[in-house]
Amino acid sequence: MSTPFLILALISVGVGIVSSIAVTNYVSKRGVKINYFLWRIMIFKYFIDYQRLTKQETGKVGPWSYVFIAAMVLAAIFVVAGIVIK
């Protein structure tokens, strides 16, 4: 895989991890119990809770959902592009 694409993919994954931590922090402060042992599996449930909670509070889905989706899509694009170019 091409090095620049690998670096961009890793940065995108890092942004996704940061958004996951932000969502976990947000829902935890709103009373959702966090299972840290199964966090990697439960993060999708926490994103659903985050979307529901932010929609109730502001009428719109919170920005961390979009950040996570964009980061994961970009990471996938960079990996595929790196493999194809190699």
pLDDT tens string 5-35: 899 999 999 999 999 999 999 999 998 899 8
> How much is the pTM?
0.84
CA–CA dist 59, 2 (Å, integer):
42
Give residue-wise pLDDT tens across range 28-81.
Answer: 999 889 988 998 899 999 999 999 999 999 999 999 999 999 999 999 999 999
For the chain, what is the domain count?
Answer: 1
Comparison of pLDDT for 65 and 1, the residue scoring more: 65
DSSP letters of 17-85?
Answer: HHHHHHHHHHHHHTTPPP-STTHHHHHHHHHHHHHHHHHHHHSS--HHHHHHHHHHHHHHHHHHHHHHH
Residue 69 has a pLDDT of: 93
Q: Is the pLDDT of residue 86 over 80?
A: no
Give the three-class secondary structure for 86. coil
For 45, the domain range is 3-85
Contacts of 65 (CB under 8 A, 6+ apart): 23, 47, 50, 51, 54
- Residue 1: its pLDDT value, please? 64
